[in-house]
Amino acid sequence: MKCIASGVVMSVVFFTLTAAQAQAPSWTVPPENARCPSKWGAADERGSANHMKPQAVLNAVKLIKAGEVIELGHVLNDKMPFFGTRRFDVHAKRTFMNEFSNMRGSNEEIVITEIGQVGTQFDAFAHQTHLNSWYNCFKVDDNATRGGFNKLGVHNVGSLIARGVLIDVAGYKGVDMLGDNYEITVEDLEGALKKQNVTLQPGDAIIINTGWGKLWAKDNARYVKSCPGIGVKAAEWLAAKDPLLLGSDNWPVEVAPNPDKQLSLPVHQLALVVNGIHLLENLKLDELAAKQAYEFAFIMQPLKVQGGSGSTVAPIAVR
């Protein structure tokens, strides 16, 4: 009886350990002592934006040969895909006719929107947390005010001019658009870069084409339901390349939902919270991909929203 009881206990313990192991998430946010202080310094609020140096600008300008400008931002209107209660309403204001000899009229508008999180958008570090902790372990509760965040606001970012690199994963896979839940792997990134004969450098603005942007304002329900994008392993590989930012033509840059059902947009935390790398979402990449413009001067200026979590942007590629 004693042996049988011991066997039962051991079986229960083994089953419990096996179940616990099976339920362990595939990725966890590193503890604060493993990710802070930032490599840019304990007081740093700019993260990857610190790559914005005079030499980076000079290197980017050398890529401009023909003066061709390719716009990477979508038009802002109420036809865009939205999440939750986000909206974009324009109310035209025909103000008045000035009673002078030249009869000058005037028009304005009121725009009601989440200015940091609609359209082609740039994520600042105030946008994402791990519990109460931001990038560089600043605490949300210590810095959140009714008028914005006292730390890590998008106003800290400034102008970004850098070498831009398009990684056309859809093109590499021979499709117009990757599948709805396709996770881009390290092998995909390496294969696309090899095919394009391009190598990554520190400070690059890395842009990934999935083809998902073809759904923009055409099938918004499908666009926001899921999307192809990079997984955790690919994001870690890219983060190790020390980029200025990671961008894509989908809404979160990463694959969504994550294949690990226990994780909610882990690449957002991996990039913004852990590594201090900005994200750029909802890019318009059809022209860039069609012209096989794999290397270019990337230029973008986020709105200087004091204490904002991000900014609607209209970036350009120049070559």
DSSP string over 234-266? HHHHHHTT--SEEEESSSSSB-BS-SSTT-SSH
d(CA 109, CA 225): 32
DSSP string over 171-204? HHTT-SS--TTPEEPHHHHHHHHHHHT----TT-
Written as one letter, the residue type at 220 is N
Cβ-based neighbours of 200, under 8 Å, separated by 6 or more: 165, 193, 206, 238, 241, 243
Q: Which pLDDT score is estimated for 98? A: 87
pLDDT in tens, 151-188: 999 999 999 999 999 999 999 999 999 999 999 999 99
Helix (H) or strand (E) holding 135: none
Residues 67-89, mean pLDDT to the nearest whole number: 96
d(CA 226, CA 81): 12
- Helices 232-239 and 186-196 cross at an angle (nearest 10°) of 50
Residue 148 scores a pLDDT above 60: yes
Ranges of each domain in the chain: 48-83+115-318
Report the percentage of the chain scoring pLDDT > 70. Answer: 93
By DSSP bridging, strand 316-318 and strand 69-71 are: antiparallel
d(CA 228, CA 211): 9
Residue 144 scores a pLDDT above 80: yes
pLDDT in tens, 101-143: 999 999 999 999 999 999 999 999 999 999 999 999 999 999 9
From 293, 313, 300, 302, select the one nearest 161 (Cα to Cα): 300
Q: Which pLDDT score is estimated for 10? A: 47
d(CA 180, CA 232): 17
Residue with tokens 């999440």: 83
* CATH classification code of 48-83+115-318: 3.50.30.50
Query: Whole-number mean pLDDT of the chain?
Result: 93
Residues 276-284, mean pLDDT to the nearest whole number: 98
Written as one letter, the residue type at 48 is S
Q: Supply angle C-alpha 216, 217, 221, rounded to 5.
A: 85
pLDDT in tens, 201-238: 999 999 999 999 999 999 999 999 999 999 999 999 99
Helix (H, G, I), strand (E, B) or coil at 233: helix
Question: Quick one: tokens of 226?
Answer: 């899921």
Residues 274-279, mean pLDDT to the nearest whole number: 98
Q: Which pLDDT score is estimated for 21? A: 53
Helix (H) or strand (E) holding 295: strand 295-300
Q: Which pLDDT score is estimated for 13? A: 45
Alpha-carbon Rg for the chain in angstroms: 23
Q: Which pLDDT score is estimated for 99? A: 87
Helix (H, G, I), strand (E, B) or coil at 80: coil
Residue 78 scores a pLDDT above 50: yes
pLDDT in tens, 13-31: 444 445 545 689 999 999 9
